[in-house]
Amino acid sequence: GNSVTQMEGPVTLSEEAFLTINCTYTATGYPSLFWYVQYPGEGLQLLLKATKADDKGSNKGFEATYRKETTSFHLEKGSVQVSDSAVYFCALSDTSNTGKLIFGQGTTLQVKP
């Protein structure tokens, strides 16, 4: 079945450091891929998405590229801020086109001043 695997957290970085959060997936067919972010006390917000191979999603300085050959969708940011501290979830849409999202377990990012 379809599944998503994220790197274990927590990830602790200093402000302005480079961020990578790894995400790999298993799916039949061609799912769309998403990164959601959950700030403390808030609901999940879409950060970025990519709907086909080689697409790059970007938002708020974050980027991720849909790599079909490595079944990956790693999240990157060149310079993190304290305000980026949150839990990040990688997800894919079920390939039966039902719209169902399958999430990874989440990666907690803590950015220190």
Partner 1 sequence: EAGVVQSPRYKIIEKKQPVAFWCNPISGHNTLYWYLQNLGQGPELLIRYENEEAVDDSQLPKDRFSAERLKGVDSTLKIQPAELGDSAVYLCASSLGGGRGTDTQYFGPGTRLTVL
Q: Is 81 in the site for partner 1 (CB under 8 A)?
A: no
Q: Is 101 in the site for partner 1 (CB under 8 A)?
A: yes
Closest among 12, 20, 37 to 72, alpha carbons compared: 20
Strand partners, 113: none
- Which of 25, 62, 66, 89 contacts partner 1 by CB under 8 A? 89
Nearer to partner 1, 106 or 110 (CB): 106
Q: Which stretch binds partner 1 (CB under 8 A): 17-25, 43-51, 61-69, 77-85?
A: 43-51
Q: In the complex, what is the shortest distance from the CB of residue 43 to partner 1, in angstroms, rounded to a whole number?
A: 4
Q: Is 98 in the site for partner 1 (CB under 8 A)?
A: yes
Q: Which stretch binds partner 1 (CB under 8 A): 11-19, 27-35, 58-66, 68-76?
A: 27-35
Q: How far is CA 111 from CA 42, 75, 81, 92, in A?
A: 18, 16, 6, 26
Ranges of H-type helices in 53-107: none
SS3 content of the chain, % helix, strand, coil (to 5): 5, 50, 45
